[in-house]
Amino acid sequence: MIKKAMILAAGFGKRIHPLTLNNPKPLLSIGDETLLSNTLKFLEIYKIKEVVINVHYLGEQIISYIKKKKFNLTIKIIKEEDKILDTGGGVLNAIEYFSDSPFLIINPDTIWSSNYIKEVKLMENLFFENEKSKCSLLVVNKKESFDQSFEGDFNLKNNLLNRKKKEDLDFIYTGLQIIKPEVFNNLSEKVFSINKIWNNLILSNELYGMESNSKFFHVSTLDIYKRLQEKYFKH
């Protein structure tokens, strides 16, 4: 059973300007809570015990927010002080906190409803049943996305993800994955995207995916944020 998770919260949120000029994206409100609190509450419901959060841009605001709020989680903050390390580098920088055990990586700009709990639990069960599993992504067909401007990230066939035909990339990464620390072994780069890990696993047919049937709400742009607030998350 997975007990640890990492929230990626270091980004600049440039596509949400001007709202993120003075506020980090994870602290934007959605309904009556922030994106970050929505993610943390989801992890609580999922019975995660320990959470690592990486911060960089306006990181002190996130640290202050965590100190003021009470969550039934042990939370460790890791500052990327000198420069932002990107998604892969950010995880590598925190990898010692996960020992050898698989853990969740989750993005706080997806709105995580309770509908995802059963789906992630099924994905976790499949992950541990398959001895070959090193990384598994929760994906959704792009037709289920509120933001219809998304291009697909992957093809999904027989529970394996690939990027062979760009015109057939129908699946979007939801922002949640299960991963083994070993996939970060022998990496010398400090700054890199998690896509590097995924592409390496695709080459060896080892990047697994599970399709979510939940409607995909993701705070991608300022326009989408405003439309989500207006249609679904009014105070």
- ∠ CA 132-136-142, nearest 5°, is 140
pLDDT at 235 over 70: no
153-162 contacts, C-beta under 8 A, 24 or more apart? 154/209, 156/209, 156/211, 159/126, 159/208, 159/209, 159/210, 160/205, 160/207, 160/208, 160/209, 161/137, 161/198, 161/202, 161/207, 161/208, 161/209, 162/202, 162/207
Domains of the chain in start order, with CATH, are: 4-231 (3.90.550.10)
Residue 234 has pLDDT above 80, yes or no: no
Question: What is the per-residue pLDDT across 140-189, written as a single tens digit (0 to 9) for each?
Answer: 999 999 999 998 999 999 999 999 877 789 999 999 999 999 999 989 89
pTM listed for this prediction: 0.96
CA gap 2, 124 in Å, rounded: 8
Reply yes or no on whether the pLDDT at 231 is more than 90. no
